[in-house]
Amino acid sequence: MFKILKKTFDTGLVTTGYPDAPPRLSENFRGAPRFDFDNWRDARPAAEACPTQALSIRDRGAVREVTMDYGLCIFCGECCAADRTGAVLMTREFELAVRDKADLVITAQYDIGADGVQQHLKQIHCGLQPVERDTAALEKHVHQAIHQTLGRSLAIREVDAGSCNGCEVEITALNNPVYDLERLGIHFVASPRHADMLLVTGPVTRNMELALIKTYRACPEPKVVVAVGACGIGGGIFGRNYATLGGADQAVPVDVFIPGCPPRPHALLHGILLALGRMGEKGLPL
C-alpha cells in the first residue's frame, strides 16, 4: 500500500488541462489531412489511394471536381503518402466536430488539360469551417454552462450500434485519470432514462436499428444526439449495405458529428462541449 501511495505522489498530476488549456499531444498524434487546393495540380494519386473514398474526383469534360468528405475520412494518411505535388499535409488538428454534416465536405473545381493535370482553381466550396466563435467561451466556462443548461451534471448514454470497438476504447479513455471527464461534471449512465445526451458509435447495423431508436425514445427531453466517428457519421468503411444503415442519422436525429477513426479523447471532448450549445437550442437557456 505504501509503495502504491509513494508511486502516486511521485507521479504527480497527470490530468490534461484541456479544454481550459492547450492539449498535450503526442509527437505521433495524427489529425486531419489538409489540402492546398490553390496549388494542387494532380489529385488523382491521392484519390486513388483513399480507402474510404473520402477523397474523390469526377471529371466532366475539361472540368475536374475534387471532393473531400471529412465525415468519411479515417485519417490514415494514405492520401499524403500518395500525393506527389506536396499539396497534402497531415496535421495534428482534431477540433473538427460540426453541427451540420454538410460542413464536413469541401468541393473544389479545376480546369484540366489534355494530360489530366489541373490548370487552376475555378471555385471552391469550403464546408469545413473553424470552430464556432462561442465555443471558446463555452469551453472556458464549461462548469457554468452545464449548470445553467441542465441545473446539474451532464449525463451521457453511449450506444454501440455495431462498431469495431475502436471508438469505445477512446470513449472509455475519457474516464481515466488523464482525461477525467467527471472533473467537468460529465459522466456516463447505464439507463437512457437518466441521460441528457446520446453518444452513438458504429454504422448502425440493422440488428441494432430498433434498439437505437428505442434508446433514443427513452431519453427524456430535451436530448441531444452525437454521432461518433466515420462509421457513426456515414458508415465508414462499412458504408450502407444489406447489414448496415450507413450512419446514426439514418435512424435517429443527430445534432453533432465528430469525425475520426476513431476520434481521440480530445476530439470527443470537443464534440461533447459543442453539443451543449445545441442543448440550449432545444428548450433550455444556455
Domains of the chain and any CATH numbers: 33-126 (no CATH), 135-281 (3.40.50.12280)
Instruction: For residues 34 and 283, give the distance between their C-alpha atoms in angstroms, rounded to a whole number.
Output: 37
Structure pTM? Answer: 0.84
pLDDT for 188 equals: 93
129: phi then psi, degrees, rounded to nearest 5: -105, 160
Among candidates 98, 68, 88, 35, which has minimal Cα distance to 267?
A: 98
Per-residue pLDDT band at 279 (split at 50, 70, 90):
low
pLDDT tens digit sequence for 31-46:
899 999 988 989 999 9
pLDDT tens digit sequence for 223-278:
899 999 999 999 888 888 899 998 999 999 999 999 999 999 989 988 988 887 76
pLDDT tens digit sequence for 198-221:
999 999 999 999 999 999 999 998
Per-residue pLDDT band at 150 (split at 50, 70, 90):
low
Helical (H) or strand (E) element with 82? helix 78-82
pLDDT for 210 equals: 95
pLDDT for 286 equals: 41
